[in-house]
Chains A and B, each alone.
Chain A
Amino acid sequence: GNSVTQMEGPVTLSEEAFLTINCTYTATGYPSLFWYVQYPGEGLQLLLKATKADDKGSNKGFEATYRKETTSFHLEKGSVQVSDSAVYFCALRDSGGSNYKLTFGKGTLLTVNP
């Protein structure tokens, strides 16, 4: 079956540090890959996505590249801000599904200190 494994948290960084949150996946077919973010007290929000191999999703300074050869979709940001403190979820959608279902990882808590 499908599964997503992401880096265990929590991750604590200083402002302007470089961020990487690792995500690897197992899936049948050719999944679409997503990063969702949950800010304190809010619902999960789509941060970025990639739908095929070598695609790069980007948003708000975050990037992730769909690597089929390593089955990975690592999230990166060159310089984090305090406002990036949140829980980050990696997820996939199997291309073979007739209905929309996301498979998530556990989430990684990021805290950015000033």
Chain B
Amino acid sequence: EPEVTQTPSHQVTQMGQEVILRCVPISNHLYFYWYRQILGQKVEFLVSFYNNEISEKSEIFDDQFSVERPDGSNFTLKIRSTKLEDSAMYFCASSEAGLDNEKLFFGSGTQLSVL
């Protein structure tokens, strides 16, 4: 079965540094998402992306965050100046168009640790 691929699986960075989390969604999917889960808390929606633009974002997704689809296969999440509280598991997801967009396919996540 096709799958969403995320790299790296673990990322350690210093506070204030920029990080880019990478995702390769399933090739025929049109909707892309980032979610995150801080340890012990709920999985939280960050952003959805469709037709090369952000279609919805949460209050978490402030100016420090950005997303990009630089080519036909990758979907990235950039955090410009990381804070300690950005430490979390970040999940990328994708879905098809139409009624099947209710089924999200998730990657296995990138564990981001900000020191």
Question: What 0/1 readout, one digit per residue, does chain B (87-115) give for beta carbons within 8 Å of chain A?
Answer: 00001010100000111111111000000
- Please judge, given known A-B contacts A105-B42, A106-B40, A106-B42, whether A100 and B106 are in contact too, CB under 8 Å: no
A77 located at the interface, meaning its Cβ lies under 8 Å from any Cβ of chain B in the complex? no
User: Cβ of B84 < 8 Å from any Cβ of A?
Assistant: no
Q: Is B75 positioned at the interface, with any CB of A under 8 Å from its CB?
A: no
Number of interface residues, chain A, beta carbon within 8 A: 27
Flag if B56 contacts A4 (CB, 8 Å): no
Asked if A101 contacts B103 (CB within 8 A), the reply is: no
- Known interface pairs A99-B55, A100-B31, A106-B41. Does A43 touch B48 (Cβ–Cβ under 8 Å)? no
Number of interface residues of B (CB under 8 A): 29
Cβ of A49 and Cβ of B44 under 8 Å apart? no
Which residues of chain B have C-beta atoms less than 8 A from A104's C-beta? 35, 42-44
Residues of the A chain whose Cβ atoms lie less than 8 Å from the Cβ of B103: 46, 49
Check if A102 is an interface residue, CB within 8 A of chain B: yes
Asked if B68 CB lies within 8 Å of chain A CBs, one says: no
Are the CB atoms of A100 and B44 closer together than 8 Å? no
With an 8 A cutoff between CB atoms, is A32 at the interface?
Answer: yes
Question: Among A34, A38, A100, A107, which residue has its beta carbon within 8 angstroms of that of B48?
Answer: A100
Residues of A within 8 A of B4 (CB): 43
Interfacial chain B residues near A44, Cβ < 8 Å = 43, 91, 93, 104, 106
Is the beta-carbon distance between A101 and B48 smaller than 8 angstroms?
yes
Are A32 and B105 neighbours in the complex by a CB distance under 8 Å?
no
Given contacts A99-B50, A100-B31, A100-B95, contact A43 B105 (CB under 8 A): yes
Q: How far is the CB of B37 from chain A (nearest CB, A)?
A: 8
Interface on A for B, CB 8 Å cutoff?
Answer: 4, 32, 34, 36, 38, 41-46, 49, 51, 89, 91, 93, 97-107
15 intermolecular pairs with C-beta atoms under 8 Å apart: A41-B108, A43-B93, A44-B43, A44-B104, A45-B105, A51-B102, A97-B56, A99-B31, A100-B31, A100-B102, A101-B45, A103-B45, A104-B43, A106-B42, A107-B37
